[in-house]
Amino acid sequence: MRKVTIDPITRLEGHGKIEIFLNDDGDVANAYLQIPELRGFEKFCEGRPVEEVPRIVPRICGV
Amino acid sequence: MAKLKLGLYWAASCGGCDVAVLDVNEKILDVAEMADIVFWPIALDFKYHHVEAMPDKDIDICLFNGAVRSSEQESIAKLLRAKSKTMVAFGSCACFGGIPALANFATRADIMERAYIEAPSNDNPDKVLPQIKTQVAEGELELPELYDTVLTLAQVVDVEYFVPGCPPPVPLILKVVEAIATNNLPPPGAVIASDKTLCDECDRKKEEKKISKIYRPHEIDPDPERCLLEQGILCMGPATRGGCGALCINVNMPCRGCFGPPAGVIDQGAKMVSAVASIYQANGEEDIAQMVRDIVDPAGTFYRFGLSDSMLKRKRLQRR
The range of the structural domain enclosing residue B14 comes to 4-100+150-181
3-state helix, strand, coil in chain A (%, to 5): 25, 30, 50
DSSP B52-106: HTSPTT-EEEEEEESBEEEHHHHHHHHHHHHHEEEEEEESHHHHH-TGGGGGGGS
Judgement on whether residues B83 and B212 belong to the same structural domain of the protein: no
Judgement on whether residues B155 and B84 belong to the same structural domain of the protein: yes
Per-residue pLDDT band for B208 (boundaries 50, 70, 90) equals: confident
Judgement on whether residues B203 and B240 belong to the same structural domain of the protein: yes
Judgement on whether residues B159 and B14 belong to the same structural domain of the protein: yes
Per-residue pLDDT band for B110 (boundaries 50, 70, 90) equals: very high
B181-205 pLDDT, tens digit each: 788 889 999 999 999 999 999 999 9
Cβ atoms of B13 and B70 within 8 Å: the answer is: no
Separation in Å, CA of B289 to nearest CA in chain A: 19
pLDDT of residue B90: 98
Q: A8 and chain B: CB distance < 8 Å anywhere? A: yes
Judgement on whether residues B216 and B276 belong to the same structural domain of the protein: yes
Judgement on whether residues B175 and B219 belong to the same structural domain of the protein: no
Residue B310: inside a domain = no
Judgement on whether residues B115 and B172 belong to the same structural domain of the protein: no
Separation in Å, CA of A30 to nearest CA in chain B: 7
Whether the pLDDT of residue B318 is over 80: the answer is: no
Per-residue pLDDT band for B62 (boundaries 50, 70, 90) equals: very high
A9-50 pLDDT, tens digit each: 998 888 999 999 999 999 999 999 999 999 999 999 999 999
What is the H or E stretch that residue A38 is in? none
Average pLDDT, chain B: 94
Residue B55: inside a domain = yes
Judgement on whether residues B164 and B33 belong to the same structural domain of the protein: yes
If one counts every other C-beta atom within 10 angstroms of the C-beta of residue B298, the result is 14
Residue B24: inside a domain = yes
d(CA B130, CA A15): 15
Judgement on whether residues B93 and B117 belong to the same structural domain of the protein: no
d(CA B232, CA B209): 10
Contact at CB, B141 and A11, closer than 8 angstroms: no
Separation in Å, CA of A53 to nearest CA in chain B: 11
Quote the number of domains for chain B: 3
Separation in Å, CA of A5 to nearest CA in chain B: 10
Q: A3 and chain B: CB distance < 8 Å anywhere? A: yes
Judgement on whether residues B64 and B156 belong to the same structural domain of the protein: yes
Judgement on whether residues B160 and B38 belong to the same structural domain of the protein: yes
pLDDT of residue B131: 95
Contact at CB, A36 and B72, closer than 8 angstroms: yes
Q: Give the chain A residue whose CA is nearest to the CA of B105.
A: A44
* DSSP-derived 3-state class of residue A35: coil
- B298 Cβ contact list (under 8 Å, min separation 6): B269, B273, B292
Where b means 16+ CB within 10 Å and e means fewer, B237-274 reads bbbbbbbbbbebbeeebbbbbbbbbbeebebbbbbbee
Separation in Å, CA of A48 to nearest CA in chain B: 6
Please write down the long-range contacts of A14-17, taking CB distance under 8 Å and 24 or more positions apart.
A14/A61, A14/B15, A15/B10
Beta bridge partners of A21: A3, A30
- B197 Cβ contact list (under 8 Å, min separation 6): B237, B238, B239, B240, B241, B242, B262
- Average pLDDT (B208-234) is 93
pLDDT of residue B1: 61
Whether the pLDDT of residue B320 is over 70: the answer is: no
Judgement on whether residues B166 and B67 belong to the same structural domain of the protein: yes
Most B CBs within 10 Å: which of A15, A20, A21, A45, as the mutation test of the B interface? A15
d(CA B276, CA B279): 5
Residue B257: inside a domain = yes
Residue B277: inside a domain = yes
pLDDT of residue B206: 94
Where b means 16+ CB within 10 Å and e means fewer, A10-41 reads beebbbbbebebbeeeeeebeebebebbbbbb
| Neighboring chain B residues of A28 at a CB cutoff of 8 Å | none
Q: A55 and chain B: CB distance < 8 Å anywhere? A: yes
| Neighboring chain A residues of B17 at a CB cutoff of 8 Å | 62
Contact at CB, A10 and B45, closer than 8 angstroms: yes
Q: A34 and chain B: CB distance < 8 Å anywhere? A: yes
Q: A38 and chain B: CB distance < 8 Å anywhere? A: yes
- Average pLDDT (B162-191) is 91
B301-312 pLDDT, tens digit each: 999 999 999 999
B11-56 pLDDT, tens digit each: 999 999 999 998 888 888 888 888 899 999 999 999 999 999 999 9
Cβ atoms of B269 and B310 within 8 Å: the answer is: yes
- Average pLDDT (B230-240) is 97
| Neighboring chain A residues of B47 at a CB cutoff of 8 Å | 6-8, 10
Q: Give the chain A residue whose CA is nearest to the CA of B115.
A: A42
pLDDT of residue A29: 96
